[in-house]
Amino acid sequence: MAYSSVVKVNRDGLLSIADNAGFGGANTIDIAHEPGDFSMSAPQETRLDFLDRGRLVSQSRFGDDQALSGTFSAYWRDASDAGVATLFDILNWSGYVGSNWTSTLGVNSEIRAIDLRLTISGSDHGDGGDHTITITDCSLDYGFSEGQPNTTTVNWRSHTDVRPTLA
């Protein structure tokens, strides 16, 4: 497949969330009605520089891993539903999600985590296929803002990934 010559834009994206069953499992939702502002920060490992009496020496090493993190927002549509997953239920692990979803970190994990996937359409633009960025085991924090429209801002952090899975 040739390197794509088409610049992708937010209209090409689809953000999805899945529980422990994975994408394609029963507990997957697509985040509809959102501005397309997904962002991700993928810092490198901490870099350690060593000094010899205050001078840098040519011995540099990697230190601790840094977790993937990021944010996205969605227009607020529904608080909770006993019959289907809503974004607010995922954020609060309540309603249908509280009864039917399993954390990607396991049943006994204190941290309730999900997997995120951003699918970017490529096949619609002559690429050999669509492109995906998948981040696993993410905990979510959120904020809510009233306005026109009401908006939920979600901050996420992976507890296992230092790099996303790309396809």
What is the residue-averaged pLDDT of the chain? 94
- Write the pLDDT tens digit of every residue in 65-80: 999 999 999 999 998 9
| Residue 106: other Cβ atoms inside 10 A | 11
2 pLDDT more than 90: no
Tell me the mean pLDDT in the region 144-164: 96
13 pLDDT more than 70: yes
- Can you point out the beta strands (E) in the chain? 13-18, 28-30, 39-41, 47-52, 55-62, 69-75, 114-120, 131-145, 151-158, 165-166
- Write the pLDDT tens digit of every residue in 37-76: 999 999 989 999 999 999 998 889 999 999 999 999 999 9
Q: pLDDT confidence of 5, banded at 50, 70, 90?
A: confident
Give the pLDDT confidence score for residue 1 in this predicted structure.
Answer: 62
Between 1-5, 18-22, 93-97, the lowest mean confidence (pLDDT) is in: 1-5
- The angle subtended at Cα 99 by Cα 146 and Cα 79, nearest 5°, is 15
Give the pLDDT confidence score for residue 3 in this predicted structure.
Answer: 86
How many Å apart are CA 5 and CA 92, to the nearest integer? 41
Tell me the mean pLDDT in the region 114-128: 94
- Write the pLDDT tens digit of every residue in 99-114: 999 999 999 999 999 9
Query: Which domains does the chain carry?
Result: 10-41+58-166 (2.30.110)
Q: What is the reported pTM?
A: 0.89
Gap between the terminal Cα atoms of the chain: 13
Tell me the mean pLDDT in the region 6-14: 93
144 pLDDT more than 90: yes
Strand, coil or helix: 97: helix
